[in-house]
Structure 1
């Protein structure tokens, strides 16, 4: 009887492990849909780019080469880092951003779900953090420039609108990477 129970428990654990692995292997499809949803929410958060902000545009150089890896696991780590950094930026001082609060909340919730799902899938891979440290450092430097820009502009309405456009570009690039990895 005890052996039979242990066998059943082992089968359940094996199936659960296999299902969670499969979930991580097909990870790209739900994330592609979530990225598209987040792009829509970014558009809903604010209206058109304000006319008074036209002269304040700033171009940040997104480190695109880091998302060109052929390895799905590397790309997942990089995507997870980008989403974490975006989440961090959007939890800053938003008092001057004239955005729809409900859309912003849904945007942050969507980012958080994606981050948690990627973290769960990558937990084992992340034990060897040295592999990803150089990539993460470059991405963090990029987002540090964004953070510094917001601080320098004292989190003004225009600075937030510029960052909203930049984050839109980041998410569009992630969507391209996900589509490329799916093929």
Structure 2
């Protein structure tokens, strides 16, 4: 069998992975990104406890049991976009593992593309996204608070560590929401 005859099989195997899948299952990608986020820093968090703050995650506005599937997808898209923007800043700590940070950004970008493809499956997603406007505004306000916190702390290493822990909580919420989307 020549290598050209194996091409269709290779493409089929590649597209059966999460990279080409349109089944909108984000759980594996979110788990991979969560794992990278956990591994990026070896800094002892205990020395940053004085910098803790309550970012007031808007869980009431994001009650997953009341969200329609396409609206929940819009909300997850907003979260991933905000996290991507936050970690794309040049102010991230140099002590973080930069390879893992780049892998995280790549994974988030891949998630954004997949979410956009998922939304294209919903015929009326633009109309239904109006229903998710309040939760999206709550999310934007939440992430703006995180950005203001970082700026107020002059992007210190401890501030970034506190934010990294907070974003881990966001990933856990998104994973729970993604599992509900699969059901």
TM range (shorter): 0.7 to 0.9
Structure 1: gaps (5+ residues): 1-22
Give the superposition deviation at 1:52: 2.4
Once the two structures are TM-superposed, the CA of residue 157 in structure 1 deviates from its matched residue by 0.1
Map of 1:89-108 to 2, 5 A cutoff? Answer: 89-108=86-105
- Structure 1 residue 173 and structure 2 residue 173: aligned? yes
Aligned-pair Cα RMSD in Å: 1.8
Q: What's the TM-score, normalizing by structure 1?
A: 0.79
1:1-183 equivalences in 2 (<5 Å): 23-24=21-22, 26-28=23-25, 31-65=26-60, 66-68=62-64, 69-123=66-120, 125-128=124-127, 129-183=129-183
Quickly say closer, same or farther: Cα 1:160–1:70, change in 2 above 3 A: same
What is the distance in 1 between the residues matched to 2:124 and 2:167?
26
Mapped partners of 2:94, 2:29: distance in 1:
23
Could you give the per-residue CA deviations for residues 65-103 of structure 1, whole angstroms, max 9, x where no partner exists? 314134111111100000000001101133535200000
The higher radius of gyration belongs to 1
TM-score normalised to structure 2 length: 0.79
Q: Secondary structure at the match of 1:179?
A: helix
Is the CA contact 2:150–2:156 (under 8 Å) kept in the aligned structure 1? yes
User: How far, CA to CA, are the matches of 1:127 and 1:52 in structure 2?
Assistant: 45
After the TM superposition, which segments of 4 or more aligned residues of structure 1 sit over 6 Å from their partners?
Answer: none
- 86-95 or 99-108: bigger deviation: 86-95
Structure 2: give runs of 5+ residues left out of the alignment.
1-20
Higher helix share: 1
Verify the 8 A CA contact 1:67 1:75 in the aligned structure 2: no
